[in-house]
Structure 1
Amino acid sequence: MKVFNDLNEFAAAQGSQLGPTEWLEIDQDRVNLFADATDDHQWIHVDPQRAADGPFGGTIAHGLLTLSLLPHFSQQLYRVDGISLAVNYGYDKVRFVSPVKVGAKIRARGEISTVTQLDGAVQATTTITVEIEDSAKPAAVVQSIVRYIA
């Protein structure tokens, strides 16, 4: 994990590469819990027997489950010290490139794409790529925006 001592050090790191994180296995229990939390019980996510004959050869994680793991991965990629608050400001672009099959392992890499100085804060866009172990294509590429307040 990269630690930035303050907002100035973080702002100066624009263009820096981050990661990778540790691998995280996506198991059926996690997918089922996400389905319960979001009321998205589509069979490609929660019915292993039916999904075995489906287009992916088994169940896959929800794309939004992959997206929801960004805070987990971001905490492994970097930390900004000397702030009072970090706020998720949103996303500029989210692409789900490849499905994450249940049982697969994923991890993330990042790049601090842009950092904008604000009054008493900075706003950063970090491009996060969620990789799938043994896959040439990533699961997702996301432009995440976080505002850091001094």
Structure 2
Amino acid sequence: MNDIIARPLVTAAAVASVCLLWGCERPPKTVKVTVEQAWVRLPAAAGVPGAAYFTLRSNSSPMALASVSSPQVDRIELHDSQMDRGVMRMRPIATAEFPETGEMEFKPGGKHAMLFGIDPSVKPGGKISLTFRFNPPRQIVADADVVGPAGTAPGHGGH
């Protein structure tokens, strides 16, 4: 009689354990990357590169910006500017790794994208389309506001 009662209880416990394990299994996290506040400063003279600035956010680690491109620009390189013995030095970077915070800012005096061969039809007040490629593979297209050579980030009034 104990055997008759024990078997169904053991079976019920096993089924409950399996159900609990299935309930604990979470679907994989959806990787999200965003491009915010993108803007481009045009060069002061023809033949000189312009620069693009933006903020990137990601909920995934590791994550890196691999490249930026545009149909309105011949070539775009990622660069970083840093002070070295009182002199600001700029160097190209192959990729830009996201920090643990998941936010990376490309801004004047720091990381930025150098735009070589900007289409002459691109004018202050307009937009330029930028394609961001990431590792792991992901691609985002964002429009950047265009400012003149002395311009600052749109909507920031110089801040």
User: TM-score of the superposition, structure 2-length normalised?
Assistant: 0.30
- Tell me which protein shows more helix as a share of its residues: 1
The answer to which structure has the higher strand fraction is: 2
TM-score for the superposition, normalised by structure 1: 0.31
